[in-house]
Amino acid sequence: MDRARALAMAVDESRQWDRLMELARIGAIPGDGVNRQALTALDRAARRLVIGWAEAAGARVSVDAAANLWLRVEGADPTAAPVVTGSHMDSQPAGGRFDGIYGVVAGLEVLSGLHDLGLTLERPLEVVAWTNEEGSRFAPGCMGSMAWAGRRPLAAFADITDAEGMRFGDALAEHLAAESDLPRRPLGGRLHAYIEAHIEQGPRLEAEGLDIGVVTGIQGSRWFNVTITGASAHAGTTPVSLRRDALQAAVRAIQSLNELMADPSDLLRFTVGSLTVEPGSSNSVAGRVRFTIDLRHPDRALLTERGDAVEGAIRRAVGPWVEVALVESFNAPPLDFDKGIVDSIVAAAEALGSRWTAMPSGAFHDAQLVASAAPAAMIFVPSHDGVSHNPAEFTSAAQLAAGTRVLAAALASHTKVSN
Ligand code: GLV
Ligand code: MN
Ligand code: MN
């Protein structure tokens, strides 16, 4: 544990906090929030800051075909599979200062600590910033980690458009051109261990007075895009009986989904978070409505059963007068993290005297995708009032540093080539 403890003690609480606050100015919105969408100029500006800090810590920077950004400090054995940490730098449209970016800055803090100590680990240590985790500009989320893990080919995302009609493929090409000074590395590869630090985004750690959540797994998620097409018509002259009103149909569809998803145990999470109406005019009957479904549950069978029932429930609710198209854009089954990595986080938390608990994650994370290609687990730090995906998201500098110390020690425990 000596090397692990030294690396943990090298975590500089103020440096980490100052970096987070500097990054939070890029895309700042009222109320201390951040709106920094994937593959935008703001995203690139934030990445340049991170690159500067990483280079000052002696890291080599590279980017892969999905624009995942990699910061690598060489190990004594450069041929050994690296130990990797990281998260994402994009935010929700009305996001906070910590979701995702904390995991990247925490990794950077470990690299900086290593540099301050003048230490060389046996294995290489890498920090990765995955592209488009939130899925708020281009849906679904976790595109960078999904493509890296080979769960879906990058080309499958190319024609997905943002709200302005920009194709993901074009945004990615523009982004990679702006980063053409950075060396390219292949998409995919061998990782020895992956540990992602993240804010909890829920109330439990704070309520229980704990420092660390040792994340044992992630509940499953399914995303659907629903399009209901009727016919736009004059609101004053078209009798209701003759209308093919897409919005009235969508209301019936969502009501019937609420019934389908009713769960007395309150474990199932069902969200319609986006709904657009065309033509979107007071005196026109709606001709087309698009809405999203975000469905989550820890039980694979239940998630499969409810998700598979969505299309039928919608069709029965809307009747024959409108058309329904449904596309499933994301399906990440529930997952248990690697026991060896989980145990190493517990050992690090114990050695550092942190108050910890084992817990599952309600949010999805890049680690969920990485876990299909490498042993992985996560570390949570408390979220004040459990608030996240909201400008008011808050974790104190001391709580963030405590999480990074556990991260540093846990990463260090995997850097021996013999283990
Ligand atoms: C991640 O942002 C999620 O929606 O769980
Ligand atoms: Mn996140
Ligand atoms: Mn998020």
Query: What number of helices (H) and strands (E) belong to the chain?
Result: 12, 18
What is residue 418's predicted lDDT score, i.e. its pLDDT?
76
Q: Which of 117, 135, 136 is nearest to 125 (CA)?
A: 117
Distance CA 131, CA 141 (A): 9
Distance CA 26, CA 89 (A): 11
* Helix %, strand %, coil % of the chain (to 5): 35, 25, 40
Distance CA 54, CA 39 (A): 20
pLDDT tens digits, one per residue of 209-239: 999 999 999 999 999 999 999 999 999 999 9
Place of tokens 């969408």: 37
Ligand 1 atom closest to the CA of 92, numbered from 1: 2
Question: Could you say which residues of the chain have pLDDT below 70?
Answer: 1, 419
Instruction: Give distance in angstroms: CA of 367 to centre of ligand 3.
Output: 13
Q: Please work out whether the CB of residue 356 comes within 6 Å of at least one atom of ligand 1.
A: no
pLDDT tens digits, one per residue of 264-277: 999 999 999 999 99
Cα torsion at 105, 111, 117, 120 (round to 10°)?
160
Q: Whose CA is closest to atom 4 on ligand 1?
A: 363
What is residue 1's predicted lDDT score, i.e. its pLDDT?
54
Q: Which ligand is nearest to the CA of 273?
A: 1
Instruction: Give distance in angstroms: CA of 246 to centre of ligand 3.
Output: 31
Q: Which ligand is nearest to the CA of 362?
A: 1
132, 201, 369: residue to mutate for ligand 1 pocket, most atoms within 8 A of CB? 201
Q: Are strands 212-218 and 376-381 parallel, antiparallel or unpaired?
A: antiparallel
Q: Please work out whether the CB of residue 363 comes within 6 Å of at least one atom of ligand 1.
A: yes
Q: Which ligand is nearest to the CA of 361?
A: 1
Q: Please work out whether the CB of residue 330 comes within 6 Å of at least one atom of ligand 1.
A: no
Tokens of 30: 């009222």
Distance CA 155, CA 66 (A): 10
